[in-house]
Amino acid sequence: MTQQDASAKAVRDGFTSSFGVLAATLGSAVGLGNIWKFPYLTGANGGAGFLVVYLLATLLVGLPVMISEIMLGRAAKRDAVTTLVQFSPRGQPWWLVGAFGVLAAFLIMAFYSEVAAWVFAYVFKAIGGSILSSDPAVTSAAFGQLVSDPVQSLLWQWLVLAFIGGILLMGVSKGIEAVTKKLMPILFLLLIVLCVRSLMLPGAAEGLSFLFTPDFSKISGAVILTAMGLAFFKLSIGMGTMITYGSYFRDDQNIPATTVRVMAADLFVSMLAGIAIFPAVFSFGFEPAAGPSLVFITIPAVFASMPFGHVFMVLFFVLTAIAATGAMLSILEVPVSVLNGRFGISRPKAVVATLLLLALIGSTCALSGSLLADFKLFGFNMFDLFDEVSSKLIMPAGGIALCLFVGWVWGFDKMKAELSNHGALTNEALLRKLFFLLRYVTPLLVLAVMLSGLGLI
Ligand code: PFF
- Residues 254 and 421: their CA atoms lie apart, in Å, by 7
pLDDT at 51: 94
pLDDT at 43: 86
CATH number for the domain harbouring residue 70: 1.20.1740.10
- How many degrees, rounded to 5, is the angle at CA 154 between CA 151 and CA 155? 80
Which letter, b or e, does each residue of 159-193 get, where b requires 16 or more Cβ atoms within 10 Å of its Cβ?
Answer: ebbeebbebbbeebbebbbbbbbebbeebbebbeb
- Written as tens digits, the pLDDT of the chain (457 aa) is 455 454 444 578 999 999 999 999 999 999 999 998 998 899 889 899 999 999 999 999 999 999 999 999 999 999 999 999 999 999 999 999 999 999 999 999 999 999 999 999 999 999 998 898 888 889 889 999 999 999 999 999 999 999 999 999 999 999 999 999 999 999 999 899 889 988 988 888 998 998 888 888 889 999 999 999 999 999 999 999 999 999 999 999 999 999 999 999 999 999 999 998 888 888 888 888 877 788 898 888 888 888 888 998 999 999 999 999 999 999 999 999 999 999 999 999 999 999 999 999 999 999 998 999 899 999 899 999 999 999 999 999 999 999 999 999 999 999 999 999 999 999 999 999 999 999 999 999 999 999 988 888 7
Q: Atom 10 (ligand 1): residue with closest C-alpha?
A: 236
Which residues are within 8 A (CB) of 153 and not within 5 positions of it... i.e. 6 or more apart? 114, 117, 146, 147, 366, 367, 369, 370
Query: If you write DSSP's letter for every residue of 224-238 in order, what string do you get?
Result: HHHHHHHHHHHTT-S
- Residues 319 and 316: their CA atoms lie apart, in Å, by 5
Centroid of ligand 1 to alpha carbon of 25 (angstroms): 10
What atom in ligand 1 is closest to the CA of residue 36? Answer: 5
- Residues 182 and 250: their CA atoms lie apart, in Å, by 20
Centroid of ligand 1 to alpha carbon of 237 (angstroms): 8
For 279, the domain range is 3-453
Distances (CA, A) of 95 to 81, 166, 240: 5, 29, 10
Q: Which of 58, 18, 69 is nearest to 271 (CA)?
A: 58
**How many independent structural domains does the chain possess?**
1
Centroid of ligand 1 to alpha carbon of 18 (angstroms): 21
Centroid of ligand 1 to alpha carbon of 426 (angstroms): 31
Q: Are 84 and 253 in contact (CB under 8 A)?
A: no
What atom in ligand 1 is closest to the CA of residue 242? Answer: 13
What atom in ligand 1 is closest to the CA of residue 395? Answer: 11
Site to probe by mutation for ligand 1, drawn from 58, 108, 337 as the one with most ligand atoms within 8 Å of Cβ, is 108
380 - beta bridge partners?
Answer: 377
pLDDT at 177: 96
Ligand 1 pocket residues where CB is under 6 Å: 28-29, 31-34, 108, 233-234, 236, 239, 241, 327, 330-331
Three-state secondary-structure class, residue 1? coil
As a whole number of angstroms, the longest Cα–Cα distance in the chain is 67
- Name the DSSP class of 89: P
Q: Atom 11 (ligand 1): residue with closest C-alpha?
A: 236
Site to probe by mutation for ligand 1, drawn from 79, 102, 112 as the one with most ligand atoms within 8 Å of Cβ, is 112
pLDDT at 114: 95
Centroid of ligand 1 to alpha carbon of 134 (angstroms): 31
Three-state secondary-structure class, residue 130? coil
Name the amino acid, one letter, at 169.
Answer: L
Q: Atom 13 (ligand 1): residue with closest C-alpha?
A: 236
- Residues 169 and 351: their CA atoms lie apart, in Å, by 7
Centroid of ligand 1 to alpha carbon of 91 (angstroms): 31
What atom in ligand 1 is closest to the CA of residue 241? Answer: 13
